[in-house]
Amino acid sequence: MRLRIGAVSKADMLEARRCLPGAFCRPLAQRLLSWLCWTGLAALVLFCAVRFDMSPLRLWSGLSELGTLTRVMFPPASGGNMDLFLAGILETLAMAFLGTLIGGAIAFPLSFLAAKNILPAWLFHFGVRRVFDVLRGVDVMIWALIFVVAIGLGPLAGILAIAISDAGTLAKLFSEAIENIDRKQTEGVRSTGANAVKVMRFGVIPQVLPVMLSFTLYMFESNTRSATILGIVGAGGIGLLLADRIRANVWDQACLIIILILVTVYFIDFVSKRLRERLIGQGK
Amino acid sequence: MLRLTGVSKQFDNVVAVDNVSLEIPTGQMVGIIGRSGAGKSTLLRLVNRLVDPTAGSINFNGAEIATIKGRVLNQWRAKCAMVFQQFNLVPRLDVITNVLIGRMFYRSTLQAVFQLFTPEERTLAVMALQRLDMIKHGLQRADTLSGGQQQRVAIARALTQEPEILLADEPIASLDPRNATVVMGALRAINREDGITVICNLHTVDTARAYCDRIVGMVSGRIAFDGPPTALTGDVIRTVYGVDGEDEEFDINVTSTAIGIGSRGTAQ
């Protein structure tokens, strides 16, 4: 009676095919559809490659050019500007930090308004969500360009750019976190006779707060990276110094700045990852 | 014959399984009872080597199991199939694919990645589903099934592994009495008809009594009782479940979920 692969007979196989044909082969329509999808994807990739002239020859000559650049980059040198570079790094970090903090502070209250399970008025949260989309849909670089024109060169433009675009991203992430909460906890609190705000305080906040803080830290991590480029459009920080060096063909100093950026980003990633792990792991 | 000698497992400061020695002859149906945290789950996981023992020897038909690794370990896992309290199926895959996962050890990694199973294996999976009376749900996604149905799929997956031993970790703890009876009946049939050794963690005494040839009671990681169901007296049950003295007098019928046996008890 024991099931044995060696004991499976021809008759068993016929019987199994009769009982559950789907176990052996997917229906024709399904197979055709998956073939169609794969062929379509391949055709699209091929079309784009041809359209953008992605010939191996061009890639190859580009690579050799990169080789020359790498050679003039080494050894990296400060040219006596080390203090300036470090100040630039700190400015970039400060921009990322303040921008993320302000963005998170704006996103926190808004996210509750956008969560379907908190505010069951669809027209309202539909509206709030479209506002997020505008904030988020415009890239942080474009916000930076706008703010540079509006309030002038310098870190303040960068901080505002990060804050605005983060407010949109974080509000969306926060509201999704609120929508994905475990309903058992809120039900438990509601069953004791708590009103909506009390349910929010004890049934929702304890579950979503660690998630929100973790998202915010991740955004800080990511903003440290993107804040380095903001300088290129004039929004302060290390990016401005880097862009100057590249324009003036001072590649050894540019290389040092890139190394400093890498070290900083690595350090922030490391610290933020540790903090996030502790936040998520809480109470386990 | 499965032989455990002086097996221990320590997690940080907690000794989950403490110097357990046990001999289980081929074809026996063993029920392990004990309070939550007594080490029942860890004991089963040790046998399947989902956790590694900190001390002791696990021996199956003369082969040492406690120290094997790599492919030999995977072969052992295929040979001692496991069924879990929460079923541990892949919810987004259909039932037949979940059952075919039981063939993982017998397929090369490349074949497994591309889901290449032989017609014989597909037939085996269909036969396993037929045996558990789940063939009509064969193409449904696993997460559309009820708990009892999912557990039957999990047992079908275990059977396609062609196991020598079936480990069941609280297989009916999440099921209603009717489904619990169906699942325990299936385990019993696999044991009786196929001669597969079944080791089953249970949290109700009557279920263990009704289905098992032999009952092992665990207290704080040690074996406190080992004998046939007839030897399981009220005093023994009190030792297994109330050893701290913190529990006042309790009625085993209150915790019973088995149909027909001890269903008089109602909670408070």
CATH number of residue A144's parent domain: 1.10.3720.10
- Pair A277, A221 in one domain: yes
Q: Is the pLDDT of residue B267 over 50?
A: no
- Pair A121, A24 in one domain: no
Please tell me the predicted confidence (pLDDT) of residue A64.
83
- Pair A62, A95 in one domain: no
CB atoms B195 and A24 under 8 Å: no
Distance CA A262, CA A212 (A): 26
- Pair A24, A84 in one domain: no
CB atoms A20 and B123 under 8 Å: no
Chain B residues close to A1, C-beta within 8 Å? 193-194
Distance CA A167, CA A72 (A): 41
> Does residue A136 lie in a domain region?
yes
At B146, the pLDDT band (50, 70, 90 cuts) reads very high
- Pair A53, A126 in one domain: no
> Does residue A2 lie in a domain region?
no
**Buried b / exposed e along A116-134 (16+ C-beta atoms within 10 A):** eebeeeeeebeebbeebee
CB atoms B121 and A20 under 8 Å: no
Residue B83 DSSP SS3:
strand
CB atoms B127 and A8 under 8 Å: yes
For the CA atoms of B50, B56, B58, B62, the dihedral, rounded to the nearest 10 degrees, stands at: 150
> What is the extent of the structural domain holding A267?
79-281
> Does residue A54 lie in a domain region?
yes
How many domains, chain A?
2
* pTM, rounded to two decimals: 0.75
Pair type for strands B63-64 and B55-60: antiparallel
Residue A151 DSSP SS3:
helix
DSSP A98: H
- Pair A114, A66 in one domain: no
Domain boundary among A57, A72, A87: A72
Q: For A23, which of B122, B159, B196 is closest by C-beta distance?
A: B122
Chain B residues close to A13, C-beta within 8 Å? 119-120, 123
> Does residue A1 lie in a domain region?
no
DSSP B263: T
Fold of B2-255: Rossmann fold (3.40.50)
Contacts 24+ apart (CB under 8 A), A56-64: none
Please give chain A's pLDDT, 284 residues, in tens: 788 988 889 999 999 999 888 888 888 888 899 999 999 999 999 999 888 888 888 888 888 888 888 887 788 777 778 888 888 888 888 989 999 999 999 999 888 888 887 777 778 878 888 888 888 888 888 888 899 899 888 888 889 999 999 999 999 999 999 888 888 888 888 888 888 888 888 888 888 888 898 889 889 888 888 888 888 887 778 888 888 888 888 888 888 888 988 898 888 888 888 887 887 775 44
Domain boundary among A55, A72, A89: A72
Residue B52 DSSP SS3:
coil
> Does residue A5 lie in a domain region?
no
- Pair A152, A132 in one domain: yes
Kindly report the nearest CA distance between residue A13 and chain B, in angstroms: 5
- At A20-51, the pLDDT tens digits run 888 888 888 888 999 999 999 999 999 998 88
Q: For B194, which of A1, A13, A23 is closest by C-beta distance?
A: A1
> Does residue A169 lie in a domain region?
yes
**Buried b / exposed e along A166-202 (16+ C-beta atoms within 10 A):** bbbbbbbbbbebbeebeeeebeebbeeebeeeebbeb
Between CA B123 and CA B132, with CA B128 as vertex, the angle to 5 degrees is: 145
Contacts 24+ apart (CB under 8 A), B61-67: B61/B1, B66/B7
Kindly report the nearest CA distance between residue B16 and chain A, in angstroms: 18
Is B196 part of the contact surface with chain A (CB cutoff 8 Å)?
Answer: yes
- Pair A84, A67 in one domain: no
